Structure 1
Amino acid sequence: MFPPKLATATLFPLTLGLIAHFTIAQATLFIDSEHLPQAKQYDYIVVGAGPGGSVVASRLSQDPNINVLLLEAGPSDEGLLDIQVPYLAFDLEPNTVYDWNYTTTSQPGLGGRNILYPRGRVLGGSTSINLMVWTRSSRDDFDRYAMVSGDDGWSWNAIEPYYRKIEHVVPPVDHHNTTDEIDIGIHGTRGPVNITTANAPYPIDPHVNATSQELGNQYPYNRDMNSGNPLGIGWTQGTYGNGVRSSASSSYIHPFTSRPNLDVLVNATVTRVLRTGHDVETGLPIFSGVEVAQSKTSSVFAINAIKEVILSAGAINTPQLLLLSGIGSSSPLAALGINQTVDLPAVGQRLVDHLVVANQFAMAAPEDDLFEAIRRNETLFNELLVEWERNKQGVMTNGPANHIGWLRVPEDEQGWKEGEDPSSGPTSPHYEFLFAPGFASTVAGTPVPPTGYFMTIFTVLVSPSSSGSVTLASSSPFDPPIIDPAFLNTTFDTQVMRAAIRSAARFVSAHAWDGFVTGQAASFADVNLNSDEQVDAWVRSQASTIWHPTGTASMGRCEDKDSVVDPDLRVRGTKGLRVVDASVLPFIPAAHPQAVVYAFAERAADLIKLGRHLC
């Protein structure tokens, strides 16, 4: 999505030094299953070390009488430079060892293109490779979760205290005044996840701010978008603190690996969940075991949990694991030779994701194209990296965008019929802006134009009505699943993306950009924004995922047979099996969902500790 790989010619001494540290510190983690304590019994086995699994494993292991095993298919993240340095997030996907490196099916709504589909495959999951944007979502999103689950505990008012429990707001590394950038009073200051605003200025920042004043009726300034009402233009909050990425593993796992009751095994692919018996009282099948392999060619071994197996493998791998375990619809399973154990047709359905398009604009001054300056100047790149390593200062401490916008299509521009709007309510946006100081593309392999200087506005469809599925390609857990997000297959989604792109062009037409932006650029320069056909063709040719899949093991009311998990996140028709990750979200949040998953996981941990059975 973001710039092509940056110059790294002199990175090797720095990286090797950190790898040496990694080897020493690794003693607190298990990298081989043979090193696990043979006689140890685990109360809980957690599959996947992203924002769901890391939180649950950490919180459950606070009880010294409870043994927890956390399994992660990928390697440890410890001491890895590209993960630690916020700006180097651009290099973590695709085609890296930290990524599952998935690809979607052909997407008719995108002109038949297949889309690269990054997912984190490393300790910390996608929080270790994402772009670190921290957005709590809207009040209406959570109130809808409460409504569809029949559990007020998922409402905004009930969940908001969990955000305070998660957050540790820290000052930016340049210590500038953030009074107008974040409302500290609504945030937590003692939680495990570091949160901050921009650590270093970008050349486009003052122009974005000025536009929100000049065109305040259309693009109002929002001091803090995490208040429950995100609408407007404001400063991005990110999961980095003191110049370093703050991931699920750095926040919830590494500080606690000294606990004798928390074991973490990396390089451990769970191949299926094992049925281990049936409950005498309810007759339900009990799933308390997992089958694990450390590679496609290695031997397989099984581990049982005394109490529960908790799947936190994410919205792609969790449904894959359920289906491989015979939990799903009978006919597709039988076609692959998999015996059905639980009839749950909703497994793998309702895949919903956010669609993103990069729109490029020309800038007058070369020094304002920050990406280009760093990309083309190896000396500058290495100077900035040394500044980060020595002082944790400078551009390398930043995420991809210092500003973000959450907006609804005005009523007089809405072309859809009444009742077709899938957003959760008036505080939930239809689309998002992200502002990048340079050329970026959402089409993999797009070269940077040989001449010119650029900025990019990403337009993101955040309340889509399209939905797809995750299904099995084979009965092998090492074959990628079939991922079909069904992008742009509704009129509503097409209309919102069209409105969003026109809105982006309108934003930079403000006087605040005079002499700074000179118009549309690169291939986007050929798009006539007054033509519906040309704008729609641009979207079909450029759109991709912004890596936010949700909904494939969705939560519903106790009596809802068309969902996968109940309000306690237990898998229906089973005992001892629970899901805690983005797959349980019955509607995609109009937000970057990592914060929502953290909050769901915090509450899930409390529900597990309480032993609650709402149903």
Structure 2
Amino acid sequence: MLKKEYDFIVVGGGSAGCVLVARLTENAHFNVLLIEAGSDDKNVAAVHVPAGAVAMVPTRYKNWAFNTTEQKQLNNRRGYQPRGKVLGGSSAINAMIYTRGHQQDYDDWKDLGWGWEEVLPYFIKSENNLAIKGELHGNQGPLFVSNSRSNHPIANAFIKAGELLGHKVNQDFNGTEQEGIGRYQVTQINGRRCSAAKAYLTPEVRQRGNLTILTDSRVTKLLLDNKQCTGVEVISNHQLLTVMASKEVILSAGAFISPQILLLSGIGDKQDIVPFGIEHHHQLAGVGENLEDHLDFITSYKANTHKIFGLSVKGIGFFTKEIIKYLFKRKGILTSNFAETGAFFKTDPNLSRPDVQLHFVVAVVEDHARKIRSSLIHGFSNHTCVLRPKSKGTVKLASNDPMTDPVIDPNFLSDEADIQTMLKGVRLSNEIMQQNPLKQYTNASLDNEYHLSDEELIEKIRAKADTIYHPVGTCKMGMDDMTVVDTKLCVHGIHGLRVVDASVFPNLMGGIPMHPR
């Protein structure tokens, strides 16, 4: 039964929210309410079977399925922003790749108290790595990390192709060195997804008497008494309810919804709030600013085998056998995270760390798998993303209706440096795709990009590129005028309110982790 007051109210049951409530409720004296806009994560086929992500990412099933504004540098196309609308958040619908980012990425935040030496113990504490031991890894935490059980031969051919070009094989992208080509580890256990909900909202945690989980419920605004956050308004079961917090409200609704809730509550830049008829309570110019995201460009190839993702008569027979293999052995292509192998490269050898990442996918992916051709063709694709883009965007209100999606403008490729880095990265990617270990598996390129001039390839990038799902920065951490939270993640000038999710990242890192801290 929902109480009128809790010590802590956590808004958003994604990667950060699941960790928060698990840790807070370890203290039996704290009563904690977790409010999640989406549903529980009980669907085995879609959520827990790794290949089930294909049913969620392109659809609105357990997915916010946001759209962006028209992107000027992407031929005025609207982008697509899938985000998990389910306990576990985007960790319940993502590709399960376990990468923390480069160590130097955290040392960029050292002055804020979030350097590599400060965060590493929390990574180790959270991790239960079933394949790798050592001083940089944990083997007793709640988040299971393992090697892929799919081990698809075409994914392995990608590594061999890179080796032929002199790229070194990296056995551990979370080890002492990130650069190289290799297999990704995945957040799985026994061939099943280990989302943040699976890791932290265990049956034991859910049964704690001091935890209440409210799903399918939407926070409409924060309640403020002068400069004190006292609770939330929430729509649950078609009723508008008021719930108070005696200690803190913690926003962990993600880089799009957390700033939206702040703005709806009158916290942010006055010019972003008052025009919508919302009373302005607290000036914070940085709310919804500083949006950064990884832009992704895909090259696709038709395979000469049906033993890969795709739809055909032979493929149906193959997948029938794979379903049986999964049910009895928890192995095979249904355990695939699609992006089984990849690479971190420097587009300039003088760089101190890789600036592009590749994801080799054992499927054809077009428009986030929303085009029919993607499912019909047996094939594979390679994704290139710029790890530290200079382009910055915004998240703003569309109206004062909390049920209306926010206005998301990533402002992709607004900085010329990003298009040049992407161009170099795609050239590196295409070189690998032309090597014999991969060419033996393909009938044809679907894109024909290898022989394009730089100008022609840039036009292809503008025509096809879109997010690879890592928005950050809209409630930036720091102490300057455009930051939203301090180094303890408390909202500047508002007592009893924190933001604890990827929106607080000051900038993107080279690989996005789950929140360990």
Query: TM-score, length-normalised on structure 2?
Result: 0.95
Alignment of 1:42-57 (within 5 A): 42-57=6-21
Aligned to 2:259: 319
Determine whether 1:564 maps to 2:490. no
Aligned residues: 516
Q: Quick one: distance in 2 between partners of 1:206 and 1:254?
A: 34
Deviates more, 1:66-75 or 1:388-397: 388-397
Residues 1:587 and 2:512 are matched in the alignment: no
Give the structure 2 partner of residue 515 of structure 1.
440
Where does structure 2 lack aligned partners over 5 or more consecutive residues?
Answer: none
Q: How does 1:158-237 map to 2 (within 5 A)?
A: 158-170=118-130, 182=132, 186-216=136-166, 219-227=167-175, 229-237=177-185
- How much does 1:491 deviate? 1.0
- Structure 1 residue aligned with 2:66: 102
1:352-501 equivalences under 5 Å are 352-363=292-303, 365-367=304-306, 370-372=308-310, 377-411=315-349, 426-427=352-353, 429-442=354-367, 445-448=370-373, 454-501=379-426
Structure-1 residue corresponding to 2:515: 598
Alignment check: 8 A CA contact 2:311 2:378 kept:
no
**Is residue 75 of structure 2 the alignment partner of residue 111 of structure 1?**
yes
State the SS of the aligned residue for 2:147: coil
Change (3 A) 1:565 1:66: same
**Matching residue of 1:607:** none
Equivalent in 252, 257, 265 of residue 214 of structure 2: 265
Structure 1 gap segments, 5+ residues each = 1-34, 172-181, 279-284, 413-424, 603-615
Q: Deviations over 1:401-422 (max 9, x none)?
A: 221201111259xxxxxxxxxx
Structure 2 counterpart of 1:584, which letter?
V
Q: CA deviation at 1:438?
A: 3.4
2:115 to 155, 169, 181: 155
Q: Which amino acid in the other structure matches residue 454 of structure 2?
A: D
Pairing 1:60–2:53 present: no
Whether the aligned pair in 2 keeps the contact of 1:502 and 1:529 (CA below 8 Å) is no
Per-residue CA deviations over 1:114-134 (Å, capped at 9, x if unaligned) read 112111111111111111111
CA contact 1:137–1:589 (8 Å) conserved in 2: yes
SS in 2 for 1:550: coil
Specify the structure having the higher radius of gyration (Cα). Answer: 1
How has the CA–CA distance of structure 1 residues 450 and 374 changed in structure 2, closer, same or farther, with 3 Å as cutoff?
A: closer
State the SS of the aligned residue for 2:159.
helix
Preserved contact between residue 310 and residue 376 of structure 2 (Cα < 8 Å): no
For 1:343, the equivalent position in structure 2 comes to 283
Q: Partner residue of 2:473?
A: 551
Q: What secondary structure sits across from 1:434 in the alignment?
A: strand
Cα distance in 2 for partners of 1:379, 1:310 equals 49
Query: Structure 1's 66 and 228: CA in aligned 2 closer, same or farther, altered over 3 A?
Result: farther
Aligned partner letter, 1:598: H
Contact kept, 8 Å, 1:200 with 1:397, in 2: the verdict is yes
Q: Per the alignment, in what secondary structure is the counterpart of residue 310 of structure 2?
A: helix
Change (3 A) 1:497 1:204: same
Q: SS of the residue aligned with 2:77? A: coil
Q: Distance in 2 between matches of 1:90 and 1:375?
A: 20
TM-score (normalizing by structure 1): 0.80
Shift in Å at residue 109 of structure 1? 1.0
**Which residue is 1:541 aligned to?**
463
Superposition deviation, residue 157 in structure 1 = 1.3
Which structure has the highest strand share of the two? Answer: 2
CA contact (8 A) 1:94 1:116 kept: no
Alignment check: 8 A CA contact 2:58 2:370 kept: no
Kindly indicate whether the alpha-carbon contact (under 8 Å) linking 1:273 and 1:287 is maintained by their aligned counterparts in 2: yes
- Asked if 2 retains the 8 angstrom alpha-carbon contact of 1:309 and 1:577, the reply is yes
Cα RMSD for the two superposed structures:
2.1
SS for the counterpart of 2:161 is helix
- Identify if the C-alpha distance between structure 1 residues 453 and 262 changes in structure 2 by more than 3 Å, giving closer, same or farther: closer
SS of alignment partner, residue 423 of structure 2: helix
Residue among 133, 136, 139 paired with 2:103? 139
Aligned with 2:196 (options 248, 256, 276): 248
State the alpha-carbon separation in 2 of the partners of residues 161 and 551 from structure 1.
23
